[in-house]
Amino acid sequence: MTTPRLLVVAYAALLVLALGRGVPLASPVLLLVVLLALGELWLRALAAESMPALARLGLATVAGLVSLPFTAIGLHAAGVRIHEESIAAGLAGLLAAVAVVVLLRERAGRVAGDPRLARTAAAVAVPGLLTLVVGVAAVRVYDALPHPPEPGYTSLALNGWAGDVAGPVRIPAGGLMLPIRVSSAGEPEAVEPLRVRVGDRLVSARPLRVSADTTRAVEVYVPSPPDGCLHRIEVSLGATSTVLYGRGAETGRGGASGRGARAC
């Protein structure tokens, strides 16, 4: 194929790729066309001579493939953000630059086309396609077959504002409602004891139904600790628990962080 024709094919494929991105099956094929054309141009620009068909095909593929990181590194060096449009534009620029070198070299005469190339390409593409079909089928079959169940779990987490707690919480005299999140996956429905402890003292306990494969928000009441000292507050559900620290209402002047609280 002549260089101008190769360029037209590459630019057409790149244009379709850039405009119709994400078309299943077509997009990878179009990209392959662009990269093979670019790789062939690299070979014509650098090593303008005939060579065995398989060597030419392999080198063109490799040269086309490495054009992608070269383009990305070039964009990065130029301070351009790497994304779909910039990569497509970079490849278009690279195609143009390499094509100019090829056309300049070809003024002194061009290398004759190799009729074996297309047949060698087919010799690689056909088994490649067959392997792809077999491979995809094998993956689909494997995925569709039943697999052993994965181990389940029940999780307990501080939720909402409590999830952002970064230090001791000031608990008003009337106590507060602490939001928690209960999630279960891969385990049967169960009833677990939901307990709240302030320091060593158990302040509440009630059963909580944990449905299978659900996530729910729950609030638990935390009474005010008896003094302004730092108290450990633990909310537990079965074997899981969350722990935060709080001070009683007496620490009002000390603020949420507890600074300035009297000695405990």
Partner 1 sequence: MTVTLLARPDQSAPAAPEARTARPWWWCAASLTAAGTAGAALLVAANRAAEWDRGTQFGLFWLGMLVFTLPAVCWAVHRSTGPRLRVAVLAGYAGFTFLPKLLRNPFGPLYHDEFAHWRQSKQILLDGRLFEQNPIVKVVGDFPGLHSTVASVSALTGVSVWHAALLVLAAAHVLVVLGVTVLADEIWQDGRVAAVAAVIYSLNSSFLFFDTQFGYESLAIALLVWTLVALHRAMRGPARRSRAGWAAVTVMLSGATIATHHLTALALIAVMIIICLVVTVRAVRRGTPVAVPLTAWALTLAAAALVVAWLALVAPRTAGYLDPYLARALDQFAGMAGDGGGGGRTLFRASSTPWWERAAAFAAQGLAAIAMVAAALRLRRGHGAEPVARSGALAMLVLGSCYFPAALLILTPSGAEGARRSWAFSYLGIALVVAPLVVALLDRAARRAGRAVTAGLLLGACTVVLVGNTTAGMNPSYRFPGPPVFGSDTRSSIPEVRAASAWLRATQGRELRIVADRYSGLIFGSYGGQNPVTGSVTFPTYDLYLTQPGQPAPRRLIEQLDAWRFGYLVVDKRMAREVPEIQIYFETNEPIPHDGRPAFTLGQLTKFDSTPWTIKIYDSGNIAIYRFDFERVAR
Chain positions 118 to 177 lying near partner 1, rule: CB under 8 A, are: 119-120, 123-124, 126-128, 130-132, 134-135, 137-139, 141-143, 145, 147-148, 150-158, 163, 165-168
Do residues 59 and 39 make contact, with C-beta atoms less than 8 angstroms apart?
A: yes
Q: Hey, how many other C-beta atoms are within 10 angstroms of the C-beta on 64? A: 24
x-or-dash pattern for partner 1, window 205-234, by CB under 8 A?
-------------------------x-x-x
Distance of closest approach, residue 107 Cβ to partner 1, in angstroms: 14
Is residue 12 involved in binding partner 1 (CB under 8 A)?
A: no
Contacts with 119 (C-beta within 8 Å, 6 or more apart), sequence order: 53
User: Quick one: which of 4, 5, 8, 28 contacts partner 1 (CB under 8 A)?
Assistant: 28
Q: How far is the CB of 221 from partner 1 (least distance, A)?
A: 19
241 lies in the binding site for partner 1 (CB under 8 A): yes
CB 37 within 8 Å of CB 64: yes
Among 9, 16, 27, 103, binds partner 1 (CB under 8 A): 27
The owner of tokens 């009337």 is 174
In the bound state with partner 1, the residue whose beta carbon lies nearer, of 12 and 87, is 87
CB of 21 to partner 1, least distance (A): 5
Distance CA 61, CA 10 (A): 14
Contact by Cβ (8 Å): 220, 198: no
Whole-angstrom Cα distance, residue 104 to residue 99?
A: 8
